A and B are shown apart, each in its own frame.
Chain A
Amino acid sequence: MTEPLVLEVERVVKHFPVRRHLLERRPGRVRAVDGVDFQVRAGRTFGLVGESGCGKTTVAMLLVKLLAPTAGRITFEGRDLAGITSRAVKEFRRRVQIVFQDPYGSLDPRQTMRSALVEPLFTLGVARDRARALDRAVESVEMVGLDAEILRRLPHELSGGQRQRVVIARALSVAPRLLILDEPTSSVDVSVQAQILSLLADLKRREGLTYLLISHNLVVVRYMSDVVAVMYLGKIVEMAESAALFGAPLHPYSTALISAIPVPDPEAPTISALARGDVSSPVHMPPGCRYHPRCPFAERVCREIEPPLVELQPGHQAACHFPGVARRSAPVPEPSR
């Protein structure tokens, strides 16, 4: 853990106002991100896991300055994001790039791949002339395993996997320090997912990239990440080195997530549904521990007092009154024999 800090997120909160009735005086709040702390170190991959509505995409939007936090501080390479304005924003955008889930939505349907790749090089001031920009574009598509011929094509002429590669190539063409990957493989088939994952792992090794990976797919997160944080209803409920978190999860929600993955092995024990019901509403947050309505191990204290995120083992934090309870009462089957 001696690598320099690239990103530091401190007590970050993002609330969105919602008005349920037209005449309501005080609007309610969606507590999308409700006090989140984490750090990302250079050359490492930080994985953020959670189900829909947990706030992981809001975190991504905050990190790339597409949203401003309601409270708290985000520091990138020692600079507070709130203080990055006007011209410095361009430089920030060059240093931090993001790849979204849907590659089709990230590409203009009437723009050729050449122009999609060359344009940001100019706007972000990476290339000064056309020839050099084009060289850079060719270099980037070749880096992601595509043929330069693809630059002549339009998005609809590409397969889903090729499109996602182009989007990754475009993000990498400006040589960012941090690449945020928001569900990079959830819109592609498993054979293409395998291609994209190997590509990302390979690029990280070759280019020394730092990733922040957001996904609901635990197997993907486990493969890619060094450190993993599990989010639930706007908060991090557990954070540890990947091997520790997946090997010995302390929060019952992490245990439920891990055991919910259907294992591709007919001999493996059947899937167990350890989380009851559905995610509670982020507007009417349950009192006490946010996970208690779904937790089969919840006791009175869980309904009353919200457990803080504390370090229970070196480098392993969890927010639970009874850490490890899920594993002790029902041993989690090893995902693969």
Chain B
Amino acid sequence: MASGGERPAVLEVRDLGVELGIGGKWVQALHDVSLTIRGGEVLGLVGESGSGKSLTALSIPGLLPGNARVVGGSIRLMGEDVLGLSEPQLNRLRTRSVAFIFQNPTTFLNPVLTVGAQISEIFELSPELLDPPGAGVRPSRRSRRRQAWAKGIEYLRVVRIPDPERIARQYPFELSGGMQQRAVIAMALARKPHLVIADEITTALDVTVQAQILSLLSELRRSIGMTLLLITHDMGIVAQLADRVAVMYSGTVVESADVRSLFREARHPYARALLAAVPTIRGDRTIFQAIPGSMPAVSDPPAGCRFHPRCPRVLPHCLAVRPLSLLVGPGHAVACHLYEERAE
């Protein structure tokens, strides 16, 4: 896992700043967000609602809503500066390099087209994704369509949809939530993207169906070496799927580390509190610890470290100075004044 240091970075986000227009004012919603994902790696981005994890994800393929703007930093995807791209270039990036899977598959799927029509359309529009025809053969339009349909079914099979030939002829409403989400994953993978971004993709599903999707993801990760930015609020999902984890709080990444280090020895008081808040079963007892207070509103963040009003180990200068991220171990970064002092 840590040996991935040699693999090239697929995604590199550096000091990303994003502002949101709220009530006629621009407020800073993301502060110096930095993330790196290497090829074949799963990065879990965790945080509670309002922590900025979805905003971070949306800024990667340039999908920020109209009331948001990037005010600093850089996003590099396969070495290419995303923030400098024109709209047509961004469109190419969205169709080829990055696949986004959202929480609710029904909003993604077209209700009036069959699942097969939707997935095979990808191959009709991008014939280079199909197996190359024999030398000198110019395939007819019809044979290309047939080939695209067959390829679509192949991908439905990749995501373990049972009886894909039948499902391909069905409309989204005829499928259960779990099957719809599988179809969306198939469409995401069909483009052979460099990066898949999955934003809370199992949140709307029942636990037994969630378990099916999670084991599918961990299987795909091994079989096709998928590079995945996995956004979730569920620490269990992160523990099961991620290689590395970044914890967000109030628009900043407070800690990032490989998954084992984070779960074993989280350093940031918020990361520790978040882990402790998850009810876990130890023997006969269920243990968890509440975090007092709540996350500050984007429009009214506290000065200094944004966690200081809730922090059990707050220091005087936490109230005034925003802590910078610093390394506390190999690949383990923490943005907290407690560790600055130790470093001095």
A contact set with B: CB distance below 8 Å: 51-52, 159, 161-162, 189-195, 197-198, 216, 218-220, 222-223, 243, 246, 256-257, 259-268, 270-275, 277-279, 294, 334-336
Contacts and interface: CB of A to CB of B under 8 A. Distances in A.
B284 interface: yes
Interface centre among B176, B179, B278, B281 (most CB of A within 10 A): B281
Given A263-B240, A267-B260, A220 B210 contact: no
Interface in B265-310: 273-275, 277-282, 284, 286, 288-292, 294
Contacts of B277: 190-191, 193-194
Contacts of A273: 208, 211-212, 214-215
B286 A278 contact: no
A282 to B, nearest CB: 13
B239 A275 contact: no
Nearest to A195: B290
Interface of B: 48-49, 162, 176, 178-179, 206-212, 214-215, 218, 233-240, 259-260, 263, 273-275, 277-282, 284, 286, 288-292, 294
Contact of A191 (B178, B284, B290): B290
B206 A270 contact: no
Interface centre among A192, A271, A294 (most CB of B within 10 A): A271
Interface of A: prevailing SS: loop
Contacts of A267: 260
B290 A275 contact: no
B67 to A, nearest CB: 19
B234 A197 contact: no
Given A194-B289, A222-B281, A273-B211, 11 more contacts: A191-B48, A191-B291, A194-B290, A195-B291, A257-B208, A262-B236, A268-B239, A270-B218, A271-B215, A294-B208, A336-B281
A336 B282 contact: yes
24 contacts: A51-B207, A159-B294, A162-B294, A191-B274, A191-B290, A193-B277, A194-B277, A194-B279, A197-B290, A216-B207, A219-B280, A243-B284, A256-B208, A260-B208, A262-B237, A262-B239, A263-B236, A264-B239, A264-B263, A267-B260, A277-B162, A279-B206, A335-B280, A336-B281
Q: Which 3 A-B pairs have the closest CB atoms?
A: A262-B236, A260-B211, A223-B286
A53 to B, nearest CB: 8
B263 A265 contact: yes
Nearest to A268: B239
A318 to B, nearest CB: 18
Given A161-B294, A194-B290, A271 B211 contact: yes
Contacts of B162: 277
A311 B238 CA distance: 39
A279 B207 CA distance: 12
B208 A266 contact: no
B208 A219 contact: no
Nearest to B209: A278
Contact of A278 (B178, B233, B239, B281): B178
A52 B208 contact: no
Contacts of B209: 51, 278
B181 to A, nearest CB: 11
B215 A272 contact: yes
Contacts of A260: 207-208, 210-211
A263 B210 contact: no
A267 B212 CA distance: 20
Contacts of A162: 294
A216 B206 contact: yes
B274 A51 contact: no
